[in-house]
């Protein structure tokens, strides 16, 4: 049985053809792979990076790049908390894994620092509004 081998593509010295995108690129655009006969990966750095992002979204959040893009479009491209910075970080519940939305770095970090606890977030709001709560925890 075996597998289908791609056609040999003539490339200039110091270049290689990417198995994924088909572009001929200089060796500097490839990661090293000691197990490969030429010492380079089969896919160029750009293709490996794109696949890595896609795999990360699927593995960690259970969503596709298209689903992420749709969420960002639905939010107008902005963080749904501050409405100013670009939405670039997937926010999810660490207990259930459910994706809540896409936030900017600062808002996503802020929620994380408050341990995703609404009671802490409400106290922070009261504090900022100048009506400190008297409860401690």
Q: Report the CATH number at residue 116.
A: 3.40.1800.10
Position 1 confidence tier, pLDDT thresholds 50, 70, 90: low
Q: Within a domain: residue 137?
A: no
**Is residue 75 located within the same domain as residue 118?**
yes
Q: Within a domain: residue 3?
A: no
**Is residue 84 located within the same domain as residue 125?**
yes
Contacts 24+ apart (CB under 8 A), 56-59: 57/90
CA distance 63 to 81: 21
**Is residue 71 located within the same domain as residue 58?**
no
Q: Within a domain: residue 134?
A: no
pTM, rounded to two decimals: 0.65
State the greatest distance between any 2 C-alpha atoms of the chain, in Å, as a whole number.
75
- Look at residues 85, 79, 122 and name the one whose alpha carbon lies nearest to residue 100: 79
Residue-wise pLDDT for 17-51, tens only, equals 999 999 999 999 999 999 999 999 999 999 998 89
Q: Are 78 and 101 in contact (CB under 8 A)?
A: no
**Is residue 80 located within the same domain as residue 34?**
no
**Is residue 47 located within the same domain as residue 101?**
no
Q: Are 56 and 81 in contact (CB under 8 A)?
A: no
Residue 31 is part of which domain span? 10-62
Q: What is the mean pLDDT of residues 57-67?
A: 96
Q: What is the mean pLDDT of residues 95-108?
A: 96
Task: Say how many C-beta atoms besides its own lie within 10 A of residue 91's C-beta.
Answer: 21
**62 torsion bin: left (phi>0), alpha (psi -120 to 50), beta (else):** left
């Amino acid at each position: 049985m075996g597998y289908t081998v791609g056609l040999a593509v003539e490339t200039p010295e110091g270049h290689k053809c990417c198995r994924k995108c088909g572009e001929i690129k200089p060796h500097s655009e490839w990661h090293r792979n000691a197990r490969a006969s030429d010492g380079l990966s089969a896919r160029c750095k750009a293709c490996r990076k794109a696949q890595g992002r896609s795999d990360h979204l699927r593995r960690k959040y259970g969503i596709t790049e298209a689903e992420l893009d749709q969420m960002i479009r639905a939010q107008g491209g902005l963080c749904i908390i501050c409405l100013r910075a670009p939405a670039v970080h997937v926010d999810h519940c660490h207990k259930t894994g459910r994706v809540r939305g896409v936030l900017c770095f600062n808002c996503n970090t802020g929620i994380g620092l408050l341990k995703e606890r609404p009671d802490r977030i409400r106290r922070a709001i009261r504090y900022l509004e100048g009506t400190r709560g008297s409860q401690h925890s």
